[in-house]
Structure formats: C-alpha cells, structure tokens
Structure 1
Amino acid sequence: MDVLGISLSQTAFAGIGALMILVLIGFSGFFSSSEIAMFSLPAHRLDAMIEKGQRGAQTVKALKEDPHRLLVTILVGNNLVNITMSSISTTIVGFYFDAGTAVLVSSFGITSLVLLFGESAPKSYAVENTESWARRVAPPLRVVEKVLWPLITLFYYLTQMVNRITGGRSSIETSYVTREEIEDMIETGEREGVIEADEREMLQRIFRFNNTIAKEVMTPRLDVTAIDAESTVEQAIETCVQSGHARIPVYEGSLDNVIGIVNIRDLVRDLNYGESADLELDDLIQPTLHVPESKNVDDLLREMRADRLRIAIVIDEFGTTEGIVSVEDMIEEIVGEILEGGENEPIEIVDDDTLVAQGEVNIHAVNEALDIDLPEGEEFETIAGFIFNRAGRLVEAGESLTYDGVEITVESVEDTRITAARVHRLPETETNAEATAETDGGPDETD
C-alpha cells in the first residue's frame, strides 16, 4: 500500500531512522563534551582526584598519558556519528523531496540539531562539570578506543606522518599552559579581584627570580662595610654595631681579597665566654663563596642554602670585588624590600605620574611602578646607571633629562653617586611636542 507515493516500508524506515538520529545526537554530545572535559582538566586537579581515590580518576590519567591518541579517538568517534546522521537524514528526506532539495534540507537540519544538542549544550555542561564529567566519560572512551582500535590506530599514525611532513607538531602534545599564559592569568586575577595587588607583585617577582643575576641584587662595593683581617675582635664588634650588620666581610690588604665573613654573634660569644684569652679575629673567620656577577640567583640561593652561607662575594671578570649578595637580598627579590631601622622606601610614589627612587633601584621596578618603558641594558641595571649612561658624564643635583615621554630629575648626589632621582611621566601633549621638536632638530635630551 502506497500513501502519497511512499510505501509502508519507507515509512517504517523513516521512523527507525529518526530514532537512530536521536541516539546518534546523544553520541555526538557525548564525544563533544568528552573533548572539553578531558582536555580542560588541569594536571594538578587530576592528581588531587587520584589522591582522593575518586572513581574513574585513574582511567582519566591513563587516557591523558597519550593526549594525541585520546584526541584521535574522540574525533574519529564524533565524525563517524555525525556522518552517519547526515547519511540517514538525507535518505529519509529523499523519500519526500528530490535529491538536491533532500541534501539541502538534511544538511541544514542535521547541522542545527548537532550545533544545539551535539555541541553547544553538551560542551557548556562539560565546562561547568569538568571533573565529574571527565570521570564519567573516561570508561566509555576506553571502550570506544578498543572497539574502533583499527581505525583509530590508522589515523593516529597518519596524523603523525602529516605533522612530520609539514614540519608541525600537534598542539595537543604540548603544554596547555605556558609561562606567558600564567602571567596573564595573574594579571587577570588581580583585575577580577581574585588576588590582591601585593599578591600579584609577589607572584610576578617569583617568575622573574630565575632570570635575575647576582649583579642585579647585590649590595654594591661602595656600600659594603668590611674589616681588615689585622683588626682586633673588639674593632670587628664595633664595626658591626656601627654599620648595623650582623655579618661583615674580612679582607687582607683590600676589598678585592676577601677571605671570609665574621658574625657578631660569634665575636661577642667567644670574646666574653670563650676559653682562649688571646682571641684573634682569624680564629672566627668563616669561609664564604665568591661568584661571578652573572651568576643566576636561583642557582646561587640553592648553593648558599646547601653550604649554609648567608653572604657571598660578587666579583667581575678580572677578579675585582663588585659587591656582596646576601640571602636577604635574594629573598627581597620575591617578597619586596625589607626595611630596617631608619631606612627609607626605595621607591616613594608621589602621584599617579611621579615617583622618587633611590639611585640603586632597578629600572624594572621603576618601569613597573609608573607603567613606562625605560631601557634595561647590559651596561646598567639601576636608575642611576641609566642617568649616567644618557648624560655621558657626572651630573649634579637639579639636572634633568627626558626620554620617551619621561622626565628624570636628579634629586640628590653624594660625591659622584646619584642617590635619588625623580621620575615623571609627561602628559601625551608634552610628549608629542617633544617628539616634534626632536624631528625638527630641537634640543638635546639632556637639559
């Protein structure tokens, strides 16, 4: 019996086909949500799930150990489902329309259904329930991997061959979170109020720490308090007290020949309670470490902790003492300046566009505080070094120079050292006028 040219067998097939399409849409949603859940689950959360003994966590870990194969498994399953849906739909619609119309109607209809119920809704659910859904889909994915093993293995090696030919590499095999992305997340966290400004600064300092060298954190030679090895124990104690330092270097002849460190605690203890009546300074000198100025502070801190040292001597390529670096200097690179007694803040914020910085302040800190871009070169790391480099001579208090929309004024000078400088970010109108003047052959940068 035919109804409108359609046989009962065709009607039955259409009904069965529609039911199959509904089932396949469910499978499409399963594969789509699996991809989001499995690849959005960070490694640290997976480790936590395993430690808690949550069901399915070990299966998730086993699948993620070969992320490329996992991705191929999901894509093969999803594409098989979607292509099968499209074929069934085209056949059913072909009972009622001509071939061209059937293809159009089927493509539009299946695409709409897949987008709504096979992609959008399942992926949204997976994003909201990443951990629980990853544990639920992992066992079925393992079954799919075994059932479709020949097809998955074929495409697994085919994609690897294509990657080798094109010189590319599957991004799925690389780290999902790079260093730059973590730094961006930290800044976003501050903007969203998830972390505080001081927390953000500390986290950023941690990332900069392993790129910092000893020269950038050391106390320069001119600021180093040391004592001659020929001095008495009493003189060493007096030097420590007057300088406010618990440990000071000991040298023979000059500061370029540092032979060790003395600790005021040892000096006082052995002087007052020691058994020897003729105590000499040499008896209390502790060995220290001499490191090049280019030494990475991350490695240096590790060495100093292993040797239980608190101070290291920084030397240049000629063996000349450049300064000293302490454990506290390196810790300050992470937690910020640790002030003692009457010490002033290294950077004093005057307003949104102005600050006063001590001469030894690192240029990076000034750039970060004012959101400017003063250059950091190999010849200098500090704001005082930048001023000397731009001026090309000794400068006096009150002198100013401008660079890339920033005006820097020398606040104070001791002997030949710049001890403080005022840094002011110029308004855009002044910056534009300055650029125009330079283009027209205007005045030199140094006033």
Structure 2
Amino acid sequence: MNAVNAVMITRLLTRNQIAGHEEIPNGSMWWFIYAGISCFLVIFAGIMSGLTLGLMSLGLVDLEILQRSGSSSEKKQAAVILPVVQKQHQLLVTLLLCNAAAMEALPIYLDKLFNPFLAVILSVTFVLFFGEVIPQAICSRYGLAVGANFVWLVRILMMICYPVAYPIGKVLDWLLGHNEALFRRAQLKALVSIHSKEAGKGGELTHDETTIISGALDLTEKTAEEAMTPIESTFSLDVNSKLDWEAMGKILARGHSRVPVYSGNSKNIIGLLLVKSLLTVRPETDTPVNAVSIRRIPRCVYVCGHSLILLKALVVKSIHVNDLYISIDIVPS
C-alpha cells in the first residue's frame, strides 16, 4: 500500500502542475458529493485492508478447530468464513485489487476539493489512520468476528472481480501451492507444552496431562527397548533371601508396585513380587521370599518395533507392562 500511496501523491501533484487546478466551490452540491465519495473510498479501502489481514491470518486448520470445538458463536463464524478462505489466493487478489482501486480513485476526487498540498496531507493522514492502521489493528484482534460480518461483501466483490482474480489466483495456486499443512508430531508436542500450566502462559493442562499426551505422541517413534530399564540397574530380590527390616525398607524406599525376583543369577528372573501382598508379612519373622506368592511373568523377545505395537499386544493379552520381561536383559522401568 505504501507504493500505491506514493504513486497517488506523485500523480496528484504532477497533474496539478501540468494542468490548471480547478476546485469545486465550497458548500456546493458537488462539493458534498465529492467529499462523500472520498470518505466512502477511505472507509472502503480501510475495510479491504483490514479484511486482508484478518481473513488471510485465519488458517484453514484454525477455522476447522473453531468449527469443531469453539463456542457456539465461533462455530457459526468459522462455518461462514471457511468456504471463502479456502480460495486463499483468489480472495487475496480480490481484496488487494479493491483496495488498490479505492486508493487510485481517491486523488481524483480530492483534487477537486482542495489545493494539491492540502489534498496530499489529508490523503496521507486519512489513508494511514482510517485506511490502514485502525482497520488492521481491529481485524488483527477480532478477525473472526469482522470477517464473518463482512463475508457477504467479500462474496459480492469476489464475483465482481472474478474475471481478473480467478485466473491470477489459479496461477498463484499452481506456483505456490495450497497452504493446508497440518501440525507435525514435534509441533503438536510443542503446542501441548505451551498450553501447560508450567509454561506460565495461561494454559489449563496440568503436568500429568502434558506428560501423558507427549508420551502418547512418542509411542510410534520410541522402541520397546527405550522404554525398558537395563537389568543391572533394577532393584530385585533373591528368591532365597529374607523379608527382614532391611529388605522391607529397601522395597519401600524404591516405591515400586512390583519387585523382580531372581534365582541364583540376577538375570534369571523367575517372577514378580507384588508389594501389596507384603501387607500381611511381619518383618521381625524374617519370612523368606519364596514363602510369599510370586507372580509368574510372560517372556518377550520383541525389542525392535515401536512401543505402540507392543502396547497394543499388551492390551490384547491383558498384560501389565510391569509384568513383562524382555529376554535381552531388560526389564520394565
């Protein structure tokens, strides 16, 4: 728009220097007609400028999200705007063409109302504030509501400018393509983290919700091996050991619901000890581990695929992930 304004000012000054300047008498009927047309052109250019920023800043994904999960008013507004915004380049050409036409027509009428220098000052002032700054400030904040209220005007202008805007829009579609990109997995994780309470930006997601969502997004990329803990780093009990005060203290300090039990070699896991089953065990009696119910665990040799396949297998077999033992010296973390 700055280039259009510069051309408009140059043309206005040049035309008055070459030809004689003819002003319409103040207070005459034609003076008010030309003044009204000038005001209309400024307002129209402002609407086009604001709609250009407001509508083009609304992505298709954002509108679909509002249409599905927004408030009742947002759903209606998004449903009205979406068909128009889908023709992005045709819409852009239409709005810019109408804006440029209004800007080019404005000096024709201002030239008849004021002397050249006053016309330049008024034109720059009105176009800057009422044609660009104020409309764009409003539409950048309330783009959805403004776009929905003026969508009828946009449809009419798209039909009027169709012979010019449609072919140019198609050429831009062919050269630049359509902007229909969805969020990638990493972008979704970043979006979730931004909306967490810990980010301090007014989000409503708790730490646990953020962790669960991010973990679910990682399932197809994380292997089963990455979700396990090396057996050398795990806390386990010998089947022949005693459940004395020392052993019970270590179990409580670890805070696990299940403790692996081995026989002879720490890598020879024979089962799991459910911590809740120790409620009836008295540490002073030195009860041996083999006297307590030890839960058998299934064996698994699957380590290469991603965690989502393993999780589905556990769900089908009704197996708790902590009850799984991987045969490559890795146990659940």
Q: Distance in 2 between matches of 1:156 and 1:47?
A: 28
Alignment of 1:280-299 (within 5 A): 284-287=295-298, 289-292=300-303
CA contact (8 A) 2:67 2:75 kept: no
Q: State the Cα distance separating 1:143 from its structure 2 match.
A: 3.6
Q: State the Cα distance separating 1:159 from its structure 2 match.
A: 0.8
* 46 and 310 in structure 1: CA distance in 2 versus 1, 3 angstrom threshold: same
Q: Which has the higher helix share?
A: 2
The normalised TM-score by structure 2 is 0.59
Who is 1:222 aligned against?
A: 232
Which deviations, in whole Å up to 9, do the C-alpha atoms of 1:228-252 show, x marking residues without a partner? 8xx69xx799999673544344668
Matched, 1:162 2:175: yes
Who is 2:69 aligned against?
A: 48
CA contact (8 A) 1:237 1:264 kept: no
* 280 and 190 in structure 1: CA distance in 2 versus 1, 3 angstrom threshold: closer
Q: Distance in 1 between matches of 2:23 and 2:129?
A: 32
Q: Distance in 1 between matches of 2:325 and 2:119?
A: 75
Q: State the Cα distance separating 1:305 from its structure 2 match.
A: 4.8
Q: State the Cα distance separating 1:310 from its structure 2 match.
A: 2.9
Q: Distance in 2 between matches of 1:259 and 1:51?
A: 58
Q: Distance in 2 between matches of 1:188 and 1:151?
A: 49
Q: Which has the higher strand share?
A: 1
* 159 and 252 in structure 1: CA distance in 2 versus 1, 3 angstrom threshold: farther
* Runs (5+) with no aligned partner, structure 2: 1-19, 281-289
Q: State the Cα distance separating 1:78 from its structure 2 match.
A: 2.9
SS of residue in 2 equivalent to 1:320: coil
SS of residue in 1 equivalent to 2:150: helix
SS of residue in 1 equivalent to 2:320: coil
Alignment of 1:104-119 (within 5 A): 110-119=123-132
CA contact (8 A) 1:50 1:57 kept: no
Q: 1:21 aligns with which of 38, 51, 61?
A: 38
Percentage of matched positions with identical amino acids:
15
Alignment of 1:207-218 (within 5 A): 207=214, 210=218, 218=228
Which deviations, in whole Å up to 9, do the C-alpha atoms of 1:273-329 show, x marking residues without a partner? xxxxxx99999524254543x7655665565455442326575xxx631x3224xxx
The normalised TM-score by structure 1 is 0.47
Who is 1:309 aligned against?
A: 320
Q: State the Cα distance separating 1:160 from its structure 2 match.
A: 2.2
Who is 1:325 aligned against?
A: 332
CA contact (8 A) 2:263 2:270 kept: yes
* Higher-RCO chain (CA-CA 8 Å, sequence separation at least 6): 2
Aligned residues: 288
CA contact (8 A) 2:41 2:102 kept: yes
Q: Distance in 1 between matches of 2:273 and 2:261?
A: 7
Who is 1:445 aligned against?
A: none
CA contact (8 A) 1:21 1:85 kept: no
Q: Distance in 2 between matches of 1:265 and 1:189?
A: 34
Q: Distance in 2 between matches of 1:265 and 1:201?
A: 24
CA contact (8 A) 1:56 1:135 kept: yes
CA contact (8 A) 1:33 1:119 kept: yes
SS of residue in 2 equivalent to 1:311: helix
Q: State the Cα distance separating 1:267 from its structure 2 match.
A: 10
CA contact (8 A) 2:24 2:112 kept: no
* Runs (5+) with no aligned partner, structure 1: 164-168, 270-278, 327-447
